[in-house]
Amino acid sequence: MLNENAPDLYTLEDEDGKEQVFEMLDVMEVDGEKYFALTPYYEKPEDMLEDAGEVVILKSVFEGDEEMMVSFDENEEEYDRIGELFMKRLEEMFDYDDEEDGGLYS
Q: What digits encode the pLDDT tens for the residues 13-72? A: 888 999 999 999 999 999 999 999 999 998 887 877 777 778 889 999 888 888 888 887
Report the alpha-carbon distance of residue 68 to residue 19 in Å, rounded: 15
Phi, psi of 12 (to 5 degrees): -115, 150
Q: Are 36 and 24 in contact (CB under 8 A)?
A: yes
For 76, half-sphere exposure in the C-beta direction (CA atoms, 13 angstrom radius) is: 0
Range with the lowest mean pLDDT among 51-55, 86-90, 101-105? 101-105
- pTM for the full predicted model: 0.72
Sign of the four-CA dihedral 69, 71, 53, 89? negative
